Amino acid sequence: MKTVKSQQTKILIILLISVTVIFAVNKTNLYKEISNSIRLYNEVYRQLFTNYVDPIKAEEFVETSIRHMMKELDPYTVFMTEEEKEPLETLTKGSYGGVGLRISMRKDTLMVISPMEGSPASRANIFPGDQVLKIDSVSTIGLDLNKIAKMIRGKIGTTVMLTIRRPGVTGLSEYTLTRDNINVNDVSYSGMLQDHIGYIRLSGFSKGASMEVRQAISSLIKEDKRIQALILDLRGNPGGLLSEALAVSELFTEPGDTLLFTKGRTQVANRVFVSLQKPYSPHDVKIVVLVNKGSASASEIVAGVIQDLDRGIVIGAPSFGKGLVQTVFRIDKTHSVKVTTAKYYIPSGRLIQKPDYLNNPELVEEHVSGDTLFYSKNGRILKGGGGIVPDIEVKVESLPGYVRELWRQNMFYSYAIKCKSEQGDISTPVVVDEKIISDFKTYLDKDGFLYYQKNEKKLRDLEKELLKEEHFKSVRNPFASFYAVYDSMKVLDFDSNLSYITRGLTSEISTLAGGLTERIKNDLDSDPVIEKAMNVILDEIEYQTTLGYAY
């Protein structure tokens, strides 16, 4: 017996020594490879800084070269200064120093979508539709929105002055606001739809997002004790914190369910995440998750978990396909690098990341799985290859050219501003009637809305060029008959797109009447994806068979 135990101990020791030696050899080879590469790098730098004809700005040159180096890998591996880390820190803290304004650029002018409840901007009575012309002494006209956000944000307790023009009010007003701690609200809207169906719009996954979803579910259940289903809208949600994605997933799954696993080159990058909490959403409440091509990363984790575990149905369009894990490593006091260290895999084993994500594939030895078919908990076939393919795809019609041009030229918004100037407070819910439609049509003619039919602009450009030539200068309106046909077609364009026009006017006027919440509430009534989700929820047979249950 002792001999057997002694032999087992020897074998175990030999195995441990072998593993240690292999690991050490691999590490040694890696460090040797790094050392040789760095030596080459250092020598090139030495030659440049010593011999280049003009003095090189050392820090700027090094930062630029590092940025170019990292661009060769993937879009998410980046070099960051402290200033560039601010959005990431806002994500991880779930708050920032600011005044609480949701803003947007319209016709090169900064517009207030809505002030956040209880914020410095709200307390100062800044309204939706107000136009911010200056921040302190700097004009906002034509500025990049990200730059504007940085100018408004700052250390808590400091002040910022906003120069505001309010539609319908003569002159400008100056507001000096003291920056406060602003909590990021990721649930942009929640409420009950018809037929005992709840709805939650989740726009991000910053710190506290899961608690917001939990509170929204609780409020919906209190509002309607007979709630039968919940629509979780993740369309346009770019993702955020992994911890929040897992916490949101736990609201709908059972303890012990595998939610996610990650694979990377280091031991710390290989992890398995299992649900540890009891589900917060009642099990008899049907779940529908909405996604589109703007749903990425954390959104895809939540949608994928619910789909793989057959907890609910995914409806919409295929998601973005961002399944790479980033880790931030601090280099020194002012620099960090965000490095892709692993890949996300959802319960069925599907990799979320779409292929061909490397900027320069020749530099990386990528290991790609050939699997394309996977199975849900109930044995349903699921498609691999990156992103989340919905159980039910809804193709949303692209906007007709005429309506697209109305949006591009901000005609709905500028007309909404006109309404607010004339009426002051606008009652909600907004109803766009025949009188408004007729007035809008007149407004387009007076405001100089330009829209060209297919080939019309080419024709008008040709006319301009021809009339520059001497022998054509005496010709008057050579294409007049063609233009007359185009004009008659434009009249038809307005009438044939009344539903789109009504929707656009309702959205923009609602924004000025009640901010983002009112806009979302109104948009839901004409949303084809919401309509499909509700139809599936109300059709018991379709809902259950889609989940793979025999009926």
Residues 13 and 141 in one domain: no
- Side-chain-facing half-sphere of 503: CA atoms under 13 Å: 15
Q: Does any domain span residue 441?
A: yes
Element (H or E) spanning 189, and its range? strand 187-192
- Provide the pLDDT for residue 30: 65
Instruction: Name the residue among 478, 262, 450, 429 with its Cα closest to residue 352.
Output: 262
Beta bridge partners of 162: 135, 175
Q: Does any domain span residue 61?
A: no
| Choice among 207, 322, 343, 420 that is catalytic | 322
Strands 131-135 and 109-115: antiparallel
- Provide the pLDDT for residue 106: 80
Alpha helices in 323-380 (DSSP H): none
Token pair listed for 331: 């280099």
Residues 412 and 389 in one domain: no
Alpha helices in 309-400 (DSSP H): none
Instruction: List the domain range (segments joined by +) for residue 49.
Output: 2-56
- Provide the pLDDT for residue 486: 77
Residues 367 and 429 in one domain: no
Q: Does any domain span residue 64?
A: no
| Choice among 257, 308, 391, 527 that is catalytic | 308
- Residue 173: CATH number of its domain: 2.30.42.10
Token pair listed for 412: 């709905």
Q: Does any domain span residue 546?
A: no
Q: Does any domain span residue 471?
A: yes
Q: Does any domain span residue 83?
A: no
Residues 405 and 391 in one domain: no
Instruction: Name the residue among 73, 95, 99 with its Cα closest to residue 86.
Output: 95
- Provide the pLDDT for residue 550: 66
Residues 220 and 155 in one domain: no
Domain boundary among 356, 380, 395: 395
- Provide the pLDDT for residue 142: 86
Alpha helices in 233-325 (DSSP H): 242-250, 298-308
Domain boundary among 136, 158, 183: 183
Residues 270 and 384 in one domain: yes
Residues 160 and 205 in one domain: no
Buried b (16+ CB within 10 A) or exposed e, 507-518: bbbbbbbbbbbb
Instruction: Name the residue among 451, 441, 445, 456 with its Cα closest to residue 409.
Output: 451
User: With contact defined as beta carbons under 8 Å apart, do 305 and 260 qualify?
Assistant: yes
Q: What is the pTM of this model?
A: 0.84
Element (H or E) spanning 262, and its range? strand 258-264
| Choice among 114, 249, 297, 376 that is catalytic | 297
Residues 352 and 451 in one domain: no
Residues 377 and 428 in one domain: no
Structurally, the chain folds into a number of domains equal to 4
Residues 457 and 525 in one domain: yes
Residue 142 zone, left/alpha/beta (φ > 0; ψ -120 to 50; rest): left
Instruction: Name the residue among 237, 200, 380 with its Cα closest to residue 320.
Output: 237
DSSP secondary structure, 122-145, as one string: HHTT--TT-EEEEETTEE-TT--H
Q: Does any domain span residue 229?
A: yes
Q: Does any domain span residue 71?
A: no
Query: For this structure, is 293 an active site residue?
Result: no
Whether the link from the prior residue into 429 is cis, omega within 30° of 0, is yes
Residues 201 and 322 in one domain: yes
Residues 303 and 227 in one domain: yes
- Provide the pLDDT for residue 248: 98
* Residues shown for the chain: 551
Query: For this structure, is 297 an active site residue?
Result: yes
For the chain, the straight-line distance linking the first and the last C-alpha, in angstroms and rounded, comes to 60
User: With contact defined as beta carbons under 8 Å apart, do 323 and 344 qualify?
Assistant: yes
- Side-chain-facing half-sphere of 485: CA atoms under 13 Å: 8
Query: For this structure, is 427 an active site residue?
Result: no
> What is the residue-level pLDDT of the chain in tens, covering all 551 positions?
445 445 444 433 433 434 344 444 455 666 677 777 788 888 888 899 899 999 999 889 989 998 998 999 999 999 998 888 877 878 888 888 999 998 888 878 898 888 887 889 988 989 888 899 999 999 999 888 888 988 999 999 999 999 999 887 888 999 999 999 988 899 999 999 988 999 999 999 999 999 999 999 999 999 999 999 999 999 999 999 999 999 999 999 999 999 999 999 899 999 999 999 999 999 999 999 999 999 999 999 999 999 999 999 999 999 999 999 999 999 988 899 999 999 999 999 999 999 888 989 888 887 766 667 899 999 999 988 889 999 999 998 888 989 999 998 889 988 998 898 888 888 889 999 999 999 999 999 887 788 887 787 888 778 777 777 777 777 777 787 787 877 777 778 899 999 999 999 999 999 888 888 899 999 998 899 999 999 999 999 999 999 988 66
d(CA 13, CA 410): 74
d(CA 500, CA 432): 12
d(CA 542, CA 551): 9
Domain boundary among 183, 201, 229: 183
- Residue 286: CATH number of its domain: 3.90.226.10
Q: Beta-carbon neighbour count of residue 248 at 10 Å?
A: 27
